[in-house]
Every structure is written in C-alpha cells, then in structure tokens.
Amino acid sequence: MSHEFSLTSIPDLNSRYDIYGAVHKGLRKAGCDLLGRLGTADFHNAEETGFLIEDLRHYLMLAASHVGHEDDHIHEALAAKGLSTTTLDEQHDDHRTAFRELEELVVAWENAWPLHKPACGRKLYLAFAAYIADDFAHMHEEETVTGPLLWRNFTDHEMLGIEMRIIASLSPEKSMAFMRIMIPAINPAERAALLGAMKKDAPPEVFQAVIDFAVRPALSVGDFAQLAGALQLAA
Ligand SMILES: [Fe+2]
C-alpha cells in the first residue's frame, strides 16, 4: 500500500462534524503505547509478557471491530450516495490480512521453545510497528481526504446519525473498551464535549459506570479534576 499526501495541505478539521477524530486518537495512542511496551519487553519471560500479549490481542480486536464499523456504516453511507469506497475497502482488507498475520506471530511466540522466544518477540515487534505505520497512513487519509468528502456530501445531522448507528451497534463491554482508549488520548475540551453529551443523553447509571471504569482510571488526578469541574460532577 502506498500513500501520497502533503503534510502542508491538511484541511481545517475543526470546522465540521469530526466522525473519525476521537477514535483514531485513541487507536494511535494505544498503538504507540503497545509498541513501546513490545520494544522493552523481555520476551524470554513468558509470564510477564503474557499480560502484554493479552493487551495486544485486545487492541487488535478493537482495531478489527473499528474497521468493521467503518465498513458497515461509513462506507455503506458513501456507497448509497454513489461514492466510491474501493481504495478504503482495499486498505481495510490489508488490515484484515495484517490482523491474521499478527495473530500467527503471537501464536508462534506462545509455542516457541524458551530459547527461541526472544527471536519470535522481535519479529512480533517489527510486524506490529509495520502494521501501525500502515494504519497511521490509512487513518491520515480517512481524516484528511474521506472526512472532507463526507462533509461535501452529508449534513452534520446525517453524520451524527451515522455515528449514533455505530454507537448503537456496540455491546456495553465494547463501548467501554473504546472509551478506555479514547479518553486518555483526547484533549480536555474534547473529553468535556464527549462526556457532556453522554451525561445529557445516557441513563445515569451508564454514565456513572463510564466515569468509574473508563474515565477515572485512565486520567491523572489533575486531568480528572479538570474534567469533573467541566462536567459539574458531584465530588
Ligand atoms: Fe479505516
């Protein structure tokens, strides 16, 4: 897959409904965090690395799920207006191949004799780095090319409808898992807007669960206090 983009002609992304922003920030940050951990892991130590492998599989599950949401809701909406999604579909197929190959490398590390585990871990590190490099280029294209294409062809109200259909399709567990990667990756104003909307629209017990399980554990004490102030949460 090759990408050609100008780094100086990024459109003004704050002017319209941003369907990709928060989830892509979450995937980028979680991917970078994992790459850092894969780089420092002692792959010889199967017990310690087991937690990292679990987190890696969880990340790849969320990434695969995200690609599926874009296929089912964004690409379908584009196709319904006669707009081509061929390039994006091909890139998503490449992602699905990468998910299978990464799982094969994980299994190879799990099954390797102790002496061979570090070499298998090194392969996994390199493969994951190549995967996120590719994914970052793909997400860049979505946010700077597909985003403006959506704005030209859909109203903000229609875009909101697409996002609401994606959210409605998520199980509570998956919804929580996406919140866990998004919240620490977005800025204070974005956190306040995302959670402010949820506080207004979601049942109070659901909102409280998101605060307790996805927000508070993911933020520093200072960042949580700032958010709590913006949302006027009870102390
Ligand atoms: Fe995508």
pLDDT at site 126: 98
Ligand 1 centroid, distance to 46 Cα (angstroms): 33
pLDDT at site 85: 92
The model's pLDDT over 90-114, given as tens digits with 9 standing for 90+, comes to 999 999 999 999 999 999 999 999 9
Average pLDDT over residues 121-139: 97
Ligand 1 centroid, distance to 234 Cα (angstroms): 38
pLDDT at site 17: 82
pLDDT at site 11: 74
The model's pLDDT over 34-53, given as tens digits with 9 standing for 90+, comes to 999 999 999 999 898 999 99
3 with 9: CB under 8 angstroms?
Answer: no
Confidence of residue 14 (pLDDT cuts 50, 70, 90): low
Ligand 1 centroid, distance to 70 Cα (angstroms): 6
Q: Is the pLDDT of residue 192 over 60?
A: yes
* Cα separation, 131 vs 152, whole angstroms: 30
Q: Is the pLDDT of residue 3 over 70?
A: no
Confidence of residue 181 (pLDDT cuts 50, 70, 90): very high
Residue length of the chain:
235
* Cα separation, 65 vs 224, whole angstroms: 28
pLDDT at site 4: 66
The model's pLDDT over 52-71, given as tens digits with 9 standing for 90+, comes to 999 999 999 999 999 999 99
What structural domains does the chain harbor? 21-171 (1.20.120.520), 187-235 (no CATH)
Q: Is the pLDDT of residue 174 over 90?
A: yes
Burial of 136 (0-12, 13-18, 19+ CB in 10 A): middle
Ligand 1 centroid, distance to 25 Cα (angstroms): 13
Ligand 1 centroid, distance to 74 Cα (angstroms): 9
Ligand 1 centroid, distance to 75 Cα (angstroms): 9
Average pLDDT over residues 141-170: 91
3-state DSSP of 28-52: HHHHHHHHHHHHHCCCCCHHHHHHH
Ligand 1 centroid, distance to 207 Cα (angstroms): 28
Confidence of residue 1 (pLDDT cuts 50, 70, 90): very low
Q: Is the pLDDT of residue 160 over 70?
A: yes
Residues in CB range of 35: below 8 A, 6 or more apart: 125, 128, 129, 132
Ligand 1 centroid, distance to 142 Cα (angstroms): 6
Ligand 1 centroid, distance to 216 Cα (angstroms): 28
Ligand 1 centroid, distance to 217 Cα (angstroms): 28
Average pLDDT over residues 187-214: 92
* Cα separation, 15 vs 198, whole angstroms: 22
Angle, to 10 degrees, between the axis of helix 172-182 and the axis of helix 21-40? 80
Ligand 1 centroid, distance to 48 Cα (angstroms): 32
Ligand 1 centroid, distance to 208 Cα (angstroms): 30
